[in-house]
Structures are given as structure tokens and as C-alpha cells.
Chain A
């Protein structure tokens, strides 16, 4: 095969298209990062290879992120009233999704009635954030199990899976400094070995956003104390690893590129489009409702035989 050549006009146009894609220069933060690499990482230290998508903390422009919760489309349920909380369990109409959850103790202390009502409110908030309006959250008279009934969903396994993921997650958020030891996204993080810098209670806002390339991101805004702590930390630990962990697993692993002074943190996922829409919605719904004070275990009884 001889060397491939192009028609001169097409070659000129192709080169022009490629040049258009090229930015003028690397951002200053990248220069700083590269300059810091030898100081932070002793040569010869092996890093475990990444297989999952790599995400980075980007300093958002000074703009404050406004919450804009986008509803999941296709739920097709009309807006309704708040469900009765703590009421009796009634038999679910056919086609309704029925779920039951046991509330687990923490440090051997069980939940109070107030705690259970708070959890019910949180689950309700998550469902509303996901675009569902018609549902009933109750409590079994025996065993104190939380029940969730959502009409019309039983037939769609994909949606049922989403709902389970939405309700079952405790939603504990931690910002975890990792020093020079990266972890892969999805990996469990030992929070004794890597004590968190901040917890979810320092997060004032979380919303679905987008980065410069239009990829879907999660945008966090820290409250004033958290922002200040985070600013000091990032300034002193450039080129080190950092994870945002959800329920003890790395949601996002990043390298600190620069000091983040204003508490706005944007995480993106590698791949075209960034986070898939349903995953981004679910994460925002879980995080906005706050961490459940007690974890849940699904104990939905098997349906009656045919």
C-alpha cells in the first residue's frame, strides 16, 4: 500500500478543522499541576492502574450553583398530595409497587418515632425529586417497617430498579482526602484509614450541571465552614488524590488541580455526555434529601403465589 494522500483542498480543510479543535494554550492550573508533580510523588512509586472513569475536581467560575432539580421524564403520574405518614398499610391496588424497609440500628441504638418520621419525609422527598407524586409511605403496625406504595410501577423492572436504588441508599456523603493513594471509582474506602475531611452536612446544595464540553456533571456547593476548610486543604495538597464517597464507596476520584476557594466542586464522569441522566438525577435526589439517620434494609415480602 502506497502512502495515503489527500486531495489538496480536502487536506487543507481537514487541517483547518483539526486546528479549530486545538485550544490556544494549556490552562495555568495545568502548568502548576505539572510543576508540583515531582514534589508530591516520589519517583518510582507505582500507582495502581485505573480502569474506571477518571474524574477531576474543577474549580467552577465564581458563579454560585443554583439548584435546578430536573425531573425524570416518563413517570407519567399526576401531581398529588403528600402521602399520609405513619398510617395503616392497606392492600396495594394491582400494578402498584410495594416495598418494605426495616430501619437498622446504629451503634446498637434504634430509631425513635421522630427518627422514623424523618426518614419517611426523606424518602418522600427523594420520590418527589424523581418526579413521582402519587405514592404512599406508611409504617407497619407490627415490626415498625416503613412501607412504600407507588401505583402503576410494578410492571417496569427498570424503573423498579431505579426506585430501589433511590430509596435503599443511606446517602452518607464524605469528602475523603486520599493523599498519594488513588482508588478506583466504585471501590470501598476505609474511612478509618482515610478519615473524611468533610461530611454531607457541609454541603449546602447539589445539582445536575454541565461542564465546558457539555457533559453532565454533579455540582456541589459547600456551606461557609466547609468551603473554608476545603479551600485551605486544597491549597496545601495540590496534585494529591481526593474522593467524594457515597455510602463508603468512591463516587468520584480526583486529583486536586488547584486551590478551590469558593466551595463549588464539580465532578464529571469520563465518557461522552458525562453522567447518564438517570444516574445524575438519582444521585441529586438522594443527596438533596440528606443522609438517612439510620440505614434501611429492604424486607419486601415475596408476593403471594399465583
Chain B
């Protein structure tokens, strides 16, 4: 990616007069700089690079159409993320019925360390894929996007209480799968 990283003086971008060509250049530069991170986030949210490309394209078009509404270009990253997260959310919801993963409650004997670690991650992967869209979105934004709960609320346009609730249920499902796959039963943290 190194040859694509542009050094942008944001104050310079911000203070340019808004002729059409300069506005187009500013958008292209800001979007280009954000693109890798946006694409990676979309791919993790959607679990598919193909869908991530679609979502990023949608978001880029929508963002350009609304670029005139963005008063403070220093907020471009968060603003673009919000558009992207909404596109990803639409796609997740449109997938229809969520795959239900049967969780086997282990009465199993102790597994070897290595096997245990792999099995736990596998269990997390499966459980993540089986989460309903709202919980998946919240878990990914928290543990991949490293956003605070307040930031997640802002990106998704949801109330903070809703975000907390979705995170709680998502993590509960993941924890159940994780613990079932691990050697020791139910090491839940509260």
C-alpha cells in the first residue's frame, strides 16, 4: 500500500476554495487514504471480500453525492465510516435467515493444549458467522474496529443502550461457544 499513501495536509484541503475540480480532488484524496481501512472493515463485517467491494463502492458513491454536506473535512474518516457501516448493515440484514449453529455443550475430557486453542478459535469463527446482523456488527466494530461504545452508537445511529445490549448478547453467544470448545467449562467474566 506504501505507494498509495498520500501525505495530505488536511488544513490545506480544508481551506481550498470549493470549485468543482478542487472539491473532486479533495474527495478523491480523502477517500483514497481511507480506502484500505474501509475495505478491511467491510470485509470483516460482511465476511466476504466480494461483498466488501460492493459495499465500499456503494459507500464511495453515496459519500461523493453528500460530500457537499460535510462541513468539516477533518471529520471525513468518521463520516465515511458511518456511510460504510450503514451500507454493510443493509447488506447483512438483506441476507435473510441467519445460519443457526448448533453449539454442543461439551462434557468432553480435557483436550491437548494445541488442539484446544485451535478448537476454541474455530468455535469463535463459527459462532461469529451465526450471530444475527446487529450483534455481529457491534462485536466487529468493538473488537476489530476498536471503537468505543459511544463511537459505535454514533456510527450506527443507535442509542448507547442498544449498542450495549447487542454487544452483551453477541459476546454471550461467543463466550458459550468458546467455553464449550475449551478444556475448562464456563469461565465467564462479568
Contact = CB atoms under 8 A, between A and B. Distances in A.
Interface string B44-61: 100111111110111011
A6 interface: yes
Contact of A26 (B56, B144, B187): B56
A53 B43 CA distance: 17
Given A18-B44, A47-B65, A271-B96, A34 B60 contact: yes
Contacts of A75: none
A218 interface: no
B91 A34 contact: no
Contacts, number: 154
A91 interface: no
Given A4-B171, A23-B39, A270-B91, A17 B125 contact: yes
B57 A35 contact: no
B58 A54 contact: yes
A288 B52 CA distance: 31
B31 A22 contact: no
A240 to B, nearest CB: 11
B133 to A, nearest CB: 12
Contact of A212 (B49, B68, B167): B49
A37 B61 contact: yes
B73 interface: no
B60 to A, nearest CB: 5
Contacts of A34: 28, 31-32, 35, 56-57, 60
Contacts of A4: 164, 167-168, 171
A50 B64 CA distance: 17
A1 interface: yes
A255 B60 CA distance: 12
Contacts of B23: 38, 43
Nearest to A53: B94
B20 to A, nearest CB: 8
B125 A257 contact: no
B137 interface: no
A13 to B, nearest CB: 5
Contacts of A109: none
B143 A18 contact: yes
B124 A43 contact: no
A306 interface: no
Contacts of B125: 17
Nearest to B43: A23
Contacts of A211: 50
Interface residues of B, number: 64
Nearest to B58: A54
B106 interface: no
Interface string B76-112: 0000000000000001001110010000000000000
A23 to B, nearest CB: 5
A22 B144 contact: yes
Nearest to B161: A1
A15 interface: yes
Interface string A3-34: 11111001101111111011101110011011
Given A25-B1, A33-B57, A34-B60, A17 B24 contact: no
Given A213-B48, A257-B57, A271-B94, A38 B189 contact: no
Contacts of A19: 144
A257 B53 CA distance: 10
B27 A13 contact: no
A14 B57 contact: no
Contacts of A53: 94
A11 B189 CA distance: 11
B175 A26 contact: no
A101 interface: no
A200 to B, nearest CB: 25
16 contacts: A1-B161, A10-B175, A13-B117, A15-B144, A23-B40, A30-B53, A31-B32, A37-B31, A37-B60, A37-B61, A47-B65, A54-B54, A211-B50, A212-B50, A213-B50, A272-B99
Interface of B: 1, 4, 20, 23-25, 27-28, 31-32, 35-36, 38-41, 43-44, 47-54, 56-58, 60-62, 64-65, 67-68, 91, 94-96, 99, 117, 120-121, 124-125, 128, 139-140, 143-144, 149, 161, 164-165, 167-168, 171, 174-175, 178, 187-189
Given A3-B164, A272-B96, 10 more contacts: A14-B139, A26-B35, A26-B39, A27-B53, A33-B57, A34-B60, A43-B20, A43-B68, A53-B94, A268-B50
9 tightest Cβ-Cβ pairs between the two chains A and B: A38-B24, A26-B39, A18-B144, A22-B40, A213-B48, A21-B44, A7-B189, A34-B60, A17-B124
